[in-house]
Amino acid sequence: MITQELLINDRKRIPKYYCGRKLFDLLDQFTFLKHKEETNLVDESDQIVATLNLLRYLIIADKIGCTEIDFYLGTLEDRYFKNLKTGIDMSKEHYNLKIKEVNEEESASAKKKDCQVSVTVSGKNLMEMSSEKKIEIMNLSLLTLDVIDSLLSRVIECDKILAASLPFVVELGWSKQTLGAGARAVGYPEVTHGLFPKGGADLVLYFQRTSNLKLVEILRELEKAVSTIPPAEFVEKALQSRLKMTIPYLSRWPQAIAIMSLPPNVPSALATILTTVDDICYYAGDRSVNFNWYVRRLGVAGVYKATELYLIQDKSPEYEATWKFLNRRLAEAVQIHEILCKSDIGVSGPKDAVTSAFVTVRHC
């Protein structure tokens, strides 16, 4: 049901109870092992498989961080993934040991009368079954555990590989080679880059998504001081914080811009920049729902993209020229915003503003 309702390419259309804390509260009901690592995973396999498939869908489909699922992964690692992985390993060891014991019992005919192996699967004692039947049932249980183990690996491996790939970007660029190096670094075969059909674009999107999540944390801290920071200064600090995140990859950032300018990647690139400016404006105190909403966000988006291009070419110490450029562009944007709001241009309405956003962001 959740996967049918989620339209993750458009954050405005996602039901609010599938985002952030409300989503996490919902997932808490499923990402829970009653007896931790000692839970009978075979009995709970249907729910576990469904839960892991849902988590994998959220991680793969949410390219722009609408659901904020990334914030929840750390919690899942501690309260669910670790217990599940330990439980899988313990259960596999248990069933393999029992299979060995049944085989030994079968072969040691001299001791068969004095010693019988007790085997329980899903709460059912298999004592009355033949050795072949016992082994068959236990092998089916092992197969179920393998399915769970495989799904668990797929849930955690994508972001793990993407995160491990970032240190190779400066050397190899935003490419499949970088993804292969990242996969190798965390113990997966290099061909695992096939998990990412968009290649370098998937890596750029991962960087932008995680950078936006870091920005939200910064914005929340800034918001606490919002009464003492003027909105324009708040926006400037926010944009500077976000732009600084690209500095470690500055030598390769023109390639990232080129990749995200390709027609198949433009919608995701647009969604990412609009998510960035929407978060900045929201935490700066802009709760407007009229034409001003579009004007402000378009203004911030234009300033961000212009400053990003300036930053790529900046050779000044500590990128001082870029931050001065940012300050000037914001001052101009404020003036333009005041003119638009006071003139007849505003009557053109949100439709033209949104159209302009697509053109502006694509060509910046």
Same domain, 157 and 299: no
266-283 and 231-244 helices, crossing angle to 10° = 140
Same domain, 155 and 214: no
The rounded distance, in Å, linking the Cα atoms of 99 and 134 is: 8
Nearby residues of 59 by Cβ (< 8 Å), 6 or more positions away:
69, 73, 155, 158, 159
The rounded distance, in Å, linking the Cα atoms of 305 and 359 is: 12
Residue among 127, 123, 76, 117 at smallest CA distance from 97: 117
- pTM to 2 decimal places: 0.62
> Looking at the 3D structure of the chain, how many domains does it have?
2
Residue among 342, 337, 258 at smallest CA distance from 300: 337
Neighbours of 230 (CB within 10 A): 10
CB 126 within 8 A of CB 137: yes
The β-bridge partners of 121 are 124
Does residue 352 carry a pLDDT above 50?
A: no
Same domain, 213 and 344: yes
The rounded distance, in Å, linking the Cα atoms of 71 and 140 is: 36
The rounded distance, in Å, linking the Cα atoms of 211 and 250 is: 15
Same domain, 148 and 20: yes
The 8-class DSSP code of residue 133 comes to: H
pLDDT tens, residue by residue, 146-205: 999 888 877 777 888 899 999 999 999 999 999 999 989 988 777 666 678 788 999 999
pLDDT tens, residue by residue, 206-222: 999 889 889 988 998 88
Same domain, 17 and 151: yes
The rounded distance, in Å, linking the Cα atoms of 296 and 286 is: 9
Residue among 35, 16, 36 at smallest CA distance from 24: 16
Burial 105-142 (b: 16+ CB within 10 A, else e): beeeeeeeeeeebebebeeeebeeeebeebbebbeebb
Same domain, 133 and 19: yes
Same domain, 164 and 214: no
Q: What is the mean pLDDT of the chain?
A: 80
Provide the domain limits for residue 127. 2-168
pLDDT tens, residue by residue, 56-104: 888 777 766 677 776 677 678 778 888 898 999 899 988 888 888 888 8
